[in-house]
Structure 1
C-alpha cells in the first residue's frame, strides 16, 4: 500500500514538474511582443505627435520612421497601427474573427449600449450584422424598384437646385438626396426638403458626427441579441451610415468637379455621347461610362472618408511577427492604403487615370478599399455605389458646376471639416443648367 501511494505521489510530482516546465517554456513565446514605436510621455502617451485634425496623415509620417506596423500610446492605451496596402489587407482579410472586434468607445456605449453593427463586437455584432443584411434585402436594395427611388429623389434634388437660378448654394444641400433615400427605405416615405422632421433629422445627424469624439458614459452591455434595444441600435447605424457616408461622398464628388473643371468636362462629354440629353442614367450604363466610373472611384480613393476606424483583437493574435494580446486596439490605416506609393502612380493627386488602362477602359484596383475589407466590410456598399453613380451622373448630365462669384477653382480649399468622417469644407457653389 505504501509503495502504491508512493507511486501515485511520484506520478503526480512528475506531472506537476512537466506542467511547470511547459509553463516556463511557453511563457516567453506567449508574452506580448509589441511593434516598435515612439517613446510615450507620461499621461499623454504619443498624443502630442498626432495633432487635432487629419491624424491619419500624422500616423502615415510615423510609419515612415517605424515601419508598416508600429505601436503608439493614446494616453496609457497601447494601440497598434497598420500602414500600407500589404499589411492592412493581410490583417483585414487574413485574420478572420480574431481582428473583427471593436474597442469600446464611450460615446457609442452611451448612445447604443453596445448594440448595432458599427461599434459592437463578438456575438452581438454577428447578430446585428445578420439582422441588418436581412433587413436591407427585405427592403429591396437589390431590386429594380430601388433604382426608381433614387431617380425620383434625383428629380426632387434637381427641382431644389433649379430654384436657386444659378445663384450660389451651400454644398451641403447636395447631401439631402442620399439622406432622403435612406429615410425612404427605413421609414417608407420620403420627406419634403422643407419638412421640419427632415430638417431636424439632418441636424441631429450632423451633431452626432461632429461630437463623436466627445467622452461619454460607459454602460453595461445587455445580453439579449435581438431585443428591442439592439434592433433600435442597428436601425440607428443604418440611418447614420446610410446618410452620412453617401451624402459626404457625393458632396466631395461635386466639389472636386468644381475644383477640376477639365475632369468635369470629360465626364459630361462622355455622358452626352452615351446617354444624350434626355435619357436618365441606369446602373447598366456604368460599363459604357468608364471615365465617369473612374472619376467616382478616384473621388473615394482621394478623400478617404473613414481613414482610421479602429479594430480590436478578439483573442491573442500573431500579426506581422508580433504577438498582440486580446483586447489590443488596432488601427488599419485606410488612408495609407488609398495613398500607398507602391500601389498608385500619383497617390497625392486627384487622378481618374488610376482606374483606366492604356485603352481608356475601366479597371479595378486591389488597393481600392474605401469600404474596408474582410468580415467587417460595409454592408451597404452595393447600395452606396448605385446611389452615387445615379446621382452623380444625373447631376453632371444636367448642370455645370462652378465656383461662387469671385473665386476660381484654384482658390477652393480642399481641407476637410473636422468630424468623424472626412467631410468636405463648408462651401458654396453655383449650379447652372447646361444648354
Structure 2
C-alpha cells in the first residue's frame, strides 16, 4: 500500500492516475516478459501485474529489503520493479564472483531514466561501450599525470586542510552542521585537479555548484525518482525531477564559463588540469580531421560532472561519518588521538605516517565499512548471456551487486553491525587488509579515484583529530546520534551538529 500511496501523492487528480495506470497496463500487456528457455533463472518473489514486486519492498531503504529477501531466496535472486526485472547479488563471495571473476560479463552500466536525463550516456560513470572505455582510459591516465594520489595531491590536500580548520575555528566550539564546509573542502581538492585551481568557500558560483550537485545526488536516490525509473511517464508531475533538471542547467552554465575561461589561456604544451588536457586533445582531433572523436563538448561536460560529484560527495560523506563516529564513541577517539600524539606529535601528518598509525588506519577503514555510503552500489548490466552459480542471467539484465551485503557480510566480519576497528587489526595491533573490504566496488567499474580518496580520508581525518576534539552538543548524548542515515544515491549521516573544540 505504501507504493500506491506514493503514486497517489504525485497525481493531482485520481483521473490522471487512472489514465496513467491504464497506459501502464496496456504497456505491460504489450511488452510482457518472454519465457526464457536458456537456463534456470534465479528465484524470487512472485511479481504482481503492473507493480511487479514493489509491494515487497521498502522503497525508502530498498537495500534493507533486498537483504531480507536474500534470507528466503538466497544470494542470487530476481525482483521486478514494475515490469523491469532486476537480479540482486548478495554477499562477498557472490559479488566478487560476478564483478571480478566475470568482470566483462557484468561490466556494463544500467542507465536508468533518472541518470539518462543527467548525462545522455556521455562521460565516465553512466556510459557504455567505446565511449566509456575511451573516457575512463583518458581520465585514469590524465589524472595520474596530474599527480592524483601522489605527492602533488598530498600538497593540495594539506593546504586545503588549513582552510577547513579556519572554517571550523569560526564556530569557537559551538555546535554546527559541518556538511557544507567539509563538502567545500573536498570539492576544492577535485577542482584543483580538474580546473587547475581551488575556490574560496564564499564564491557563490562554487558554492552553488557544490550544493546543487549534492542535492542531485540526494534526489537521484529518492523514492520518487525510483518510481520515475520504473514508470517514466510520471516524470512531468515529479517535483524532484524538475529540481534535478534545474540544477543540471545551472551547473552547466557555471561549468561553461569556467571551461571558456581556461580555453582563452590554453597552452597546448602546458596542461594545468583535466579540463585543459581534454581541450588540448579535442583541438588536436579537430585539427587532424578525426571523425567520430569522443573528445567533444558533451563528453567534457559530463566527465567533469562525474569527477566533481564523485570527488565531493563520497569522500565528504565518509569523512562526516568518521567525525560523527568519534563523537559517538569518545573512547575510540581517545585511542586515535593518543596514537597520533605519540607517533606524530605536533607536526603536520603526511601520507607516509599511515603505516605508523595502525589503529587510526583501522578506524578509517571501519568508518568506510560501517558507513556503507553506497549500499546499493550503482546498477550494473550484463553485456551478454551469462550463467552465475548455476543461474542463467540474460544479456541486458539490470544487476545490483549489493555492497551493503559485502561490507556487513556476517561470514566475513566478526561484528558486522557494530563500529569495531579491530576488524582491521591483528593480535599484535598491526593493520591487516580484509578481502571483503569493498567500499569502492570492484572489477571494471571500480571507482577510478580510489587512490585520491584514500589519501584525502587519511590526511583530513588524522589532521582534524590531531587538532580538535569532536563532541556532541551539551545535553546531547552519543546514543542520540542516529546511525541509520539519510538515503539518497549515497547514504549520508542523519542531520546533526557537533562541537569542534581546539585541543590544547
TM-score by length of 2: 0.78
Query: How does 1:309-328 map onto structure 2 within 5 Å?
Result: 309-328=378-397
C-alpha distance after superposition, 1:108-156 (max 9, x if no partner): 2222110112121122211121121122123221431211110000011
Determine which structure has more spread, i.e. the larger CA radius of gyration.
1
Give the counterpart of 1:298 among 357, 360, 366: 366
Counterpart Cα distance in 2 of 1:413 and 1:109 = 33
Give the counterpart of 1:174 among 170, 175, 182: 182
Q: Is 1:84 aligned with 2:91?
A: yes
Counterpart Cα distance in 2 of 1:287 and 1:41 = 54
Query: How does 1:231-310 map onto structure 2 within 5 Å?
Result: 231-276=300-345, 278-308=346-376, 309-310=378-379
C-alpha distance after superposition, 1:368-426 (max 9, x if no partner): 00001111111000000000000000000010001112201111112211311001112
C-alpha distance after superposition, 1:229-282 (max 9, x if no partner): 122211110011011101101111101111111111110000000001x21111
Q: Is 1:49 aligned with 2:45?
A: no
Corresponding residue SS for 1:167: coil
Q: Is 1:188 aligned with 2:196?
A: yes
TM-score by length of 1: 0.90
Q: 1:93 to 1:358 in 2, by over 3 A?
A: same
Question: Mean Cα displacement is larger for which, 201-210 or 326-335?
Answer: 201-210
Q: Is 1:105 aligned with 2:112?
A: yes
Identify the residue that residue 5 of structure 1 maps to in structure 2: none
Query: How does 1:27-426 map onto structure 2 within 5 Å?
Result: 31-172=38-179, 173-213=181-221, 214=225, 215=228, 225-276=294-345, 278-308=346-376, 309-426=378-495
Q: 1:29 to 1:49 in 2, by over 3 A?
A: closer
Equivalent residue pairs, number: 403
Contact (CA 8 Å) 2:184, 2:207: kept in 1 or not? no
Which consecutive residues of structure 1, in runs of 5 or more, have no partner in the other structure?
Answer: 1-27
Question: Mean Cα displacement is larger for which, 167-176 or 321-330?
Answer: 167-176
Corresponding residue SS for 2:108: coil
Contact (CA 8 Å) 2:361, 2:458: kept in 1 or not? yes
Contact (CA 8 Å) 1:30, 1:323: kept in 2 or not? no
Contact (CA 8 Å) 1:117, 1:128: kept in 2 or not? yes
Question: Mean Cα displacement is larger for which, 229-238 or 286-295?
Answer: 229-238
What's the Cα RMSD here?
1.7
Counterpart Cα distance in 1 of 2:306 and 2:119 = 9
Corresponding residue SS for 1:120: coil
Question: Mean Cα displacement is larger for which, 405-414 or 169-178?
Answer: 169-178
